[in-house]
Amino acid sequence: MDEPRDTPPPAESGPRLPLATANSRLSPVQQAYAAYTGHAIACPACRDVDRTCPDAGELWTAYRAISDDAYAQLAEGTRSRNGH
C-alpha cells in the first residue's frame, strides 16, 4: 500500500526585504522621507496631479520640519543654540 504524498515543500520566494526593519535603522529624517515617499507611491490621490492630498502635505511638512531641525543642529553643532 503505497500512500502517495504529493505535498510539495513550501515554496520559498527567497529572502524578502524587511522594509519595517530597514526603516527602524534609518535616521528620523530618512524615516520621515520614507513615510512621505511610501505614502505617495501607494496613494491614488498623490498620483493624480489634479487632486491634492492633505496626508502627503502633512508628511512633507513633517519631513521638512525634521530635516530643517537636523540641518540646524548640524550647522550649529559647535555653537550653543540660544532658544528654539
**Interaction site with Zn ion (CB under 5 A):** 43, 45-46, 53, 55-56
Kindly report the backbone phi and psi dihedral angles of residue 43, in degrees, each rounded to the nearest multiple of 5, phi listed first.
-90, 120
Who's near 27: CB < 8 A, 6+ residues apart?
70
- For the bound state, the minimum distance from the C-beta of residue 45 to Zn ion, rounded and expressed in Å, comes to 5
CB of residue 15 to Zn ion, shortest distance in Å: 30
The CB-of-62 to Zn ion minimum distance in angstroms stands at 13
Closer CB to Zn ion, residue 34 or residue 56?
56
